[in-house]
Amino acid sequence: MSGPFPRVATHLPVPHAGVAASGLGAPHRLVIEGVPEQVSTARSFIRQVLGSGHPGTERITLLTSELVTNSIEHSGSRLPGGTITITLRVGTDRVLVEVADAGGAAVPTLCRDDGLGESGRGLRLVDSCSLAWAYHRSVSGTVTWFECTLEPLQ
């Protein structure tokens, strides 16, 4: 892992970089129920917005899927009636994805990787495959975001 948690893009304001990110297009939003069956809906949304020929589609779909899965597993959005909002903004050289949920008892945290755990790998993927990521908490919940270049997974 490179750098401290979370890796925050230095050219964007903190604590929530996505709010004032310049050079990005209009937001595309999807609201889903906080149930496991909706992770595939989130993946389809990313593919639909970016299109099959977009070089970053695989990377952005994977990382979005990881954040949505974390929201379902660790936030109040998994309770009956809970929702998760995915916001995607596309620029000429980067993409910003925000996943908003109802929040939970803990904040998004990178887990130590002992190689044997069945969970805890999602944020490690986000950390290693994005330019930056972080989270923002408010009274309404938690928004976890990442920013990527438009490169395919290798």
Structure tokens belonging to residue 6: 């979370």
Please give the pLDDT value at position 3: 40
77/90 Cα distance (integer angstroms): 26
111/67 Cα distance (integer angstroms): 14
pTM of the model: 0.84
Strand partners, 101: 142
Please give the pLDDT value at position 19: 41
Please give the pLDDT value at position 152: 82
Strand partners, 135: 144
Please give the pLDDT value at position 5: 44
Q: Buried b / exposed e across 118-151, counting CB within 10 Å, b at 16+?
A: eeeebbebbbebbbbbbbbeeeebbbbbbbbebe
For residue 125, give the amino acid letter: L
User: Can you give the pLDDT of all 154 residues of the chain as single tens digits?
Assistant: 344 445 444 333 333 444 445 689 999 999 999 999 999 999 999 999 998 889 999 999 999 999 999 999 999 999 999 999 999 999 989 999 999 999 998 888 887 665 555 566 789 999 999 999 999 999 999 999 999 988 887 7
108/22 Cα distance (integer angstroms): 25
Please give the pLDDT value at position 153: 79
120/122 Cα distance (integer angstroms): 6
